[in-house]
């Protein structure tokens, strides 16, 4: 396959999601003549240039891994002045743009190569020249990433130009349930027969084949120039109200994945797939997903989509668990469980799922155990310590200024999760779901 369309795509960040989702789907669509990506790692920039813009991504199916070659892709380093000019010019002609950065915090910096400044300059040129309207996919794992990015970009546009820029661009939130990673261990790459990014870039991109990506509705305002716009990456599905689906991703998919990782760390497991054989763990995760996350979100969003029905959410959960345990994806406990501080924040996947359960009148005991396991990963002395739980969690919650009554309810739930986790360990790790269902009294 070669580039044959008439559109330009620009990506910011050359990681697994950019390489294995946005660039991959833009390339496969046949609708783009030019693909460009921004990356600040000089070695990655050099490697892709030396391979004439061709790179490989490994796609995990249920029964195999296939390597796919993609390109040519132009790459530019936003820290280089000449490359910044290339990026701004490419944004001006682009119809689709995607940011796939570690977090929304990477949208802005003091550098001249800050993402928001390059986007602002390119969009100003687009508006001034009457260039093609564009959508910007914000792929960072945040429910309001698009709004944050739009505000940052508009802050760098002179007053008087902002309305004209707004008429040419639509910032879109995304719900990306595609699991992915970067494999850096050369022995693992060789053992699993993965193809490296390029012959001189020793890493390997590994992504699952899943590509049902949800995005917010494209809207440029009522301007004649943009009424006929259609996306070149056609596989993405627009939703008029994305928030319920973002919550299903964060408080269903992400939270259950995180619980699996922290239980895996607690058990000394290396791979998420290996937990499928651990006594009662897969049943525990399924019950958490369906009975706690599912029931809470169905109560919260009933009637908004078929997903938020018992049948719809059960199918969603079962499909995701099969994908999480895919041995060909080979996700590691370490990767999924990284950054426990962030995952224990007030609005993030673990505590957030406990909160929604409590708000909906449920007792989310399994996610409370997952939060306790994450706290143990953060501080190994936590499980057996007598120190009050708030000493560990309050510093992570202070920015959110939680309601005192809700904070106390969450602390109590996680405290009970700590006790259950300790009792389970002391009992020699019996079947986890059976242990929970026994309804052991919690010693306070």
| Average pLDDT for 100-111 | 96
Tell whether the model's pLDDT for residue 368 goes beyond 80: yes
The 10s digit of each residue's pLDDT in 162-214 is 899 999 999 999 999 999 999 999 999 999 999 999 999 999 999 999 999 99
Helix 255-267 vs helix 349-359: angle between axes, to the nearest 10 degrees? 120
| Average pLDDT for 362-390 | 91
Does residue 444 sit in helix, strand or coil?
Answer: coil
Dist. CA 444–CA 439, nearest whole Å = 15
| Strand ranges of the sheet holding 32-38, from the earlier edge strand across to the other edge | 74-76, 32-38, 7-12, 96-99, 134-138, 169-175, 214-216, 237-239
Tell whether the model's pLDDT for residue 292 goes beyond 50: yes
Tell whether the model's pLDDT for residue 227 goes beyond 80: no
What percent of the chain has pLDDT above 90?
A: 90
The 10s digit of each residue's pLDDT in 318-338 is 999 999 999 999 999 999 999
| Average pLDDT for 261-271 | 95
| 244-437 matches 7-240 in CATH topology | no
Mean confidence (pLDDT) of the chain: 94
Dist. CA 265–CA 262, nearest whole Å = 5
CATH code that applies to domain 7-240: 3.40.50.720
Quickly list H helices, 16-65.
16-17, 23-29, 42-50
- Cα first-last separation, the chain: 63
Residue 23: CA count within 13 A, CB half-sphere: 33
Q: What is the DSSP letter of 210?
A: -
The 10s digit of each residue's pLDDT in 73-102 is 999 999 999 999 999 999 999 999 999 999
In sequence order, the β-bridge partners of residue 205 are: 182
Q: Is it true that domain 244-437 has CATH number 1.10.1040.10?
A: yes
Name the helix (H) or strand (E) containing 416: helix 404-426
**What are the domain boundaries of the chain?**
7-240, 244-437
CA 71 to chain centre: 24
> What's the pLDDT at 443?
44
Q: Which residues contact 378 (CB under 8 A, 6 or more apart)?
A: 340, 341, 344, 392
Q: Do 390 and 414 contact (CB within 8 A), yes or no?
A: no
Tell whether the model's pLDDT for residue 243 goes beyond 90: yes
Dist. CA 358–CA 86, nearest whole Å = 51
Dist. CA 236–CA 212, nearest whole Å = 6
Question: How many CB atoms neighbour CB 187 within 10 A?
Answer: 7
Q: Do 123 and 152 contact (CB within 8 A), yes or no?
A: no
> What's the pLDDT at 76?
98
Q: Do 318 and 293 contact (CB within 8 A), yes or no?
A: no
Reported confidence tier of residue 385, pLDDT bands at 50, 70, 90: confident
Dist. CA 194–CA 56, nearest whole Å = 9
The 10s digit of each residue's pLDDT in 9-51 is 999 999 999 999 999 999 999 999 999 999 999 999 999 999 9
Q: Do 348 and 367 contact (CB within 8 A), yes or no?
A: no
CA 287 to chain centre: 23
Predicted TM-score (pTM) of this structure: 0.91
What percent of the chain has pLDDT above 70?
A: 96
| Average pLDDT for 46-71 | 97
């Amino acid at each position: 396959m070669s580039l044959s369309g008439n559109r330009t795509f620009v990506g910011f960040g050359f990681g697994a999601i950019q390489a294995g989702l946005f660039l991959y789907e833009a390339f496969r669509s046949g609708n783009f003549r030019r693909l460009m990506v921004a990356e600040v790692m000089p070695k990655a920039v050099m490697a892709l240039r030396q391979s004439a813009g061709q790179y490989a991504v490994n796609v995990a199916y249920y029964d195999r891994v296939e390597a796919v070659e993609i390109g040519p892709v132009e790459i530019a380093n936003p820290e280089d002045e000449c490359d910044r000019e290339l990026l701004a010019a490419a944004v001006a002609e682009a119809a689709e743009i995607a940011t796939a950065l570690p977090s929304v915090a990477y949208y802005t910096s003091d550098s001249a190569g800050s993402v928001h400044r390059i986007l602002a300059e390119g969009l100003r040129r687009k508006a001034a020249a009457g260039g093609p309207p564009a959508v910007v996919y914000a792929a960072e794992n945040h429910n309001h990433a698009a709004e944050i990015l739009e505000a940052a970009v508009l802050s760098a546009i002179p007053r008087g130009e902002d309305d004209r820029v707004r008429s040419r661009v639509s910032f879109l939130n995304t719900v990306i349930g595609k699991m992915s990673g970067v494999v850096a261990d050369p022995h693992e790459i060789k053992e699993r027969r993965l193809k490296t990014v390029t012959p001189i870039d020793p890493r390997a991109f590994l992504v699952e084949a899943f590509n049902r990506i949800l995005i917010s509705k494209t809207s440029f305002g009522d301007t004649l120039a943009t009424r006929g716009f259609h996306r070149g990456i056609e596989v993405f599905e627009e939703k008029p109200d994305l928030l319920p689906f973002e919550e299903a991703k964060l408080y269903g998919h992400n939270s259950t994945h995180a619980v699996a990782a922290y239980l895996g760390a607690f058990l000394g497991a290396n791979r998420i797939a290996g937990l499928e054989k651990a006594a009662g763990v897969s049943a525990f995760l399924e019950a958490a997903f369906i009975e706690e996350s599912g029931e809470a979100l169905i109560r919260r969003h009933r009637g908004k989509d078929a997903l938020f029905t018992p049948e719809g959410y059960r199918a969603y959960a079962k499909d995701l668990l099969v994908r999480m345990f895919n041995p060909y994806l080979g996700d590691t406990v370490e990767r999924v469980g990284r950054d426990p501080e962030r995952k224990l924040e007030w609005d993030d996947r673990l505590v957030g799922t406990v909160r929604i359960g409590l708000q909906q009148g449920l007792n989310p005991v399994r996610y409370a155990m997952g939060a306790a396991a994450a706290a143990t990963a953060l501080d190994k002395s936590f499980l057996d310590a007598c120190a009050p739980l708030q000493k560990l969690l309050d510093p992570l919650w202070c920015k959110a200024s939680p309601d005192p009554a809700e904070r106390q309810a969450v602390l109590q739930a996680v405290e009970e999760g700590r006790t259950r986790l300790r009792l389970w360990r002391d009992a020699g790790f019996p079947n986890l779901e059976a242990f929970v269902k026994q309804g052991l009294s919690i010693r306070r």
